[in-house]
Amino acid sequence: MDIVCGTCGRELRAEDEEKTWRECRICKKPVCLDDIHYIGVWRRGLYRDYVEVIPVCENDMPRKRR
């Protein structure tokens, strides 16, 4: 099964996950490290809330400010 970057269409190898690409945590598409973005999201913890940093693709970025 071919894996391609969900943003630029570059071909990726399954064994290179974490090295050349990561999976978008929102849409689950593979995204190469050139196109990946990291966002902080609030998580509700047992005792207190905390920020988790997750990889997301361009499409799932929060709306950009101009």
* 28/31 Cα distance (integer angstroms): 9
Contacts of residue 61, defined as CB under 8 A and 6 or more positions apart, other chains included, come to: 37, 39
Single out the residue of 61, 12, 54 nearest to residue 32, CA to CA.
12
**Nearer Cβ to Zn ion, position 6 or 47?**
6
Residue 7 sits in the site that holds Zn ion (CB under 5 A) = yes
Q: How many residues at the interface with Zn ion, by CB under 5 A?
A: 11
Which one of 12, 22, 23, 32 is in contact with Zn ion (CB under 5 A)? 32
Stretch that binds Zn ion, among 11-19, 22-30, 37-45, 46-54 (CB under 5 A): 22-30
